[in-house]
Structure 1
């Protein structure tokens, strides 16, 4: 039976509160930390524990689910046909390990490629950004309006620190043109800041679990999401992404079209 958004929202919101309690408990214990692609790309026993919890709970709730998770504990997915969940157990693991702050957990749900719901929880602040295209977006219990349509020069922007540091084309131009820039180290935290109007744009190279929930929520708020080398509705490929107000997005595209 097709689930309503309220049913989905109640289910995922409860999962995330359980995940939050698990994570807070593990912050007081030694972590098992391993590197993935490099010394800044970390995975912990908590990442794997949380993803396994999501996978088991989603399979009970939605027995026909296909689940794509960052740590590979779900399914190998090459299509958005059917019931598809995309999970990032801990987004900003380096922040989680080193700062114990500014990290998120994220879930997005699709039916035959159409977004049905998305959830991003700032774990330490206990702020849940959640919603769906036809139902709007909430921060906890407060319904959000579209952020002010600021231009780039009026906006603080969130950028990938690694790409800014290594002068990936376009990033320094955007940082220089913006009112200011921030590096949060977590896509989920950046999406929450964007939805709240605290930044006017977020620019990074992201994998599906990094952007799925954020893209759904941004679009539901009337924000623009641009993928430079993929179709916007391609949820299964990594891409350089700009999520921004329409004016800031136009300014960024004008800059990056000449510098990328």
Structure 2
């Protein structure tokens, strides 16, 4: 399976390199902006055109694969059997629209329900994080080492702003126990930070395409990715997810448990 992993890894890097080149041109162009679930849940014409291009490219290369995608160009996936691609064309659309930085594009690939290969591009930084359990994780081709397993008190955390404001699941206590809170507005950028040790925890309500790529890469690097009950996540459902070092996740799960 290593050869298959390497093949898909090269495919994802090439694809997201093209996506990055296009989005860097698109970022300052006039955008058609609509809302989805609420006024802060934005979608643009570039989200849709980018996803359409990604899905078409995947289908051409892997016609038997199924695709879970944010903007509706993928399949109605009910099973994790076979090769399943999760596509988030522009992660951090608000950042893409408002500040023209700190947004990403992400593709996670699962084989028979197990994390297989993934890639995340921080578009404006031109950094692609890619790989999987068979081959390791790389930043622009340079292999990454596992982040240190440090404790909550010694690291910064990223938690959904609304969750902290409402103290949902004791998140304010988690923040107080840490070195401080950061809110970045883009899952792909947060995953990059957690993988490189800049932050030790990411806790947020994530949809499958928000989570898929980051889960593959983080777990490959020895980080923990679980639901708030400490159980493995269901990749076909949206849920609150806890990502971080082994020590931090254990501590946060206990804090979350005490909120009941």
Flag whether TM exceeds 0.5 (same fold): yes
CA apart distance, 1:116: 1.9
CA contact (8 A) 1:157 1:201 kept: yes
CA apart distance, 1:17: 1.1
- Number of positions where the alignment pairs a residue of Structure 1 with one of Structure 2: 260
Distance 1:181 1:53, change over 3 A: same
For 2:243 and 2:28, how far apart are their aligned partners in 1?
35
Residue in structure 1 matched with residue 112 of structure 2 by the alignment = 112
For 1:201 and 1:140, how far apart are their aligned partners in 2?
23
TM-score, with length taken from structure 1: 0.96
Q: C-alpha offsets along residues 150-192 of structure 1, whole Å, 9 cap, x if unaligned?
A: 1000110111112122322321111111111100001111000
Distance 1:65 1:142, change over 3 A: same
Q: C-alpha offsets along residues 190-228 of structure 1, whole Å, 9 cap, x if unaligned?
A: 000000000011110101000011111111000111112
Gaps of 5+ in 2: none
Residue in structure 1 matched with residue 158 of structure 2 by the alignment = 158
**SS of equivalent to 2:169:** coil
Mapped pair 1:168 → 2:168? yes
Gaps of 5+ in 1: none
Structure 1 ranges of 4+ moved more than 6 A: none
**SS of equivalent to 1:169:** helix
TM-score, with length taken from structure 2: 0.96
Mapped pair 1:90 → 2:85? no
For 1:62 and 1:22, how far apart are their aligned partners in 2?
23
For 2:197 and 2:184, how far apart are their aligned partners in 1?
15
Residue in structure 2 matched with residue 133 of structure 1 by the alignment = 133
For 1:96 and 1:165, how far apart are their aligned partners in 2?
24
CA contact (8 A) 2:229 2:253 kept: no
